[in-house]
Amino acid sequence: MAYECLLLEKKDKYAIVTLNRPPANAINSKLMEELDDAITVLGEDDEVRCIVLTGSGERFFSAGADIKEMGQGGGVIGDTSGDLLRAHQALTVRMDRCPKPIIAAINGMAFGGGCELAMSCHIRIAAENATLGQPEVNLGIIPGYGGTQRLPRLVGRAKGLEMLLLGTPVKAQEALQIGLVNRVVPDADLMTEAGKLAAKLAKQAPIAVKMIIDAVSRGIDTGIEQGLEIEAEGFVKAFTSQDALEGIMAFVEKREPKFQGK
């Protein structure tokens, strides 16, 4: 697949999607359209069991929305109906609910829409030089790709509001402390560590992985009873799969399981 704003590379059972609009990997409508396509295609690709999302270069995961495009009245700013914004929001929901785990490998700055894309991933690994934030308030606007919703859910209401209202970014170590990222690694090791994690996730039972993501993404904002019902549905689907039998037999036989996603 050839894209203008993305690079796509397939490894052994996982794929790397790289935001590629140097120098800052700024987000425009074309990038979001291509990312939507890539996530959809990879989500349906049986050869891919995990996705890594990162940015080209060393300084920027993504600096956020393309201010030049916005200043010229383009992109979501030019669509007063809000339909384009909602389409982009829908992409973040599809990422959140993608049946394949998505790892954000955050190299450098992840501001605005870049931070929102990272928060839409299931796991976030940050390089030591990474900085994350939602600075939209400094432009007189607010986040539009889920920042007001996902950030407080990840870091708590008080810290989320502080970051949103002040537009104050956090460095990698603080992001780790507040729960915005899962781990921090040396800059030079970012893609190696992301690849190791992706390879490990790719070995997990695909049906069980899919059911876990579904149960968490659909159940997290429901009452406990509804969440447990979602979990029960997923349990039955996973437990009656061939992968479950393989996992149990591998445990009994003291060998590594070979899951087929069936």
Active-site residues, by number, are 116, 136
Q: Which runs of E-coded beta strand occur in the chain?
A: 6-10, 14-19, 50-55, 60-62, 102-106, 109-111, 123-127, 131-133, 170-171, 183-185
**CB within 8 A of 86, min separation 6: which ones?**
none
Residue type, 7: L
Which residue type is seen at 138?
N
Find tokens 């839409």 and name the residue: 120
Give backbone dihedrals phi and psi of 186, rounded to 5 degrees, phi first: -55, 145
Cα–Cα distance measured from residue 146 to residue 168, given in angstroms and rounded to the nearest whole number: 17
Rounded Cα distance between 153 and 159, Å, is 10
Phi, then psi, of 9 in degrees rounded to 5: -135, 135
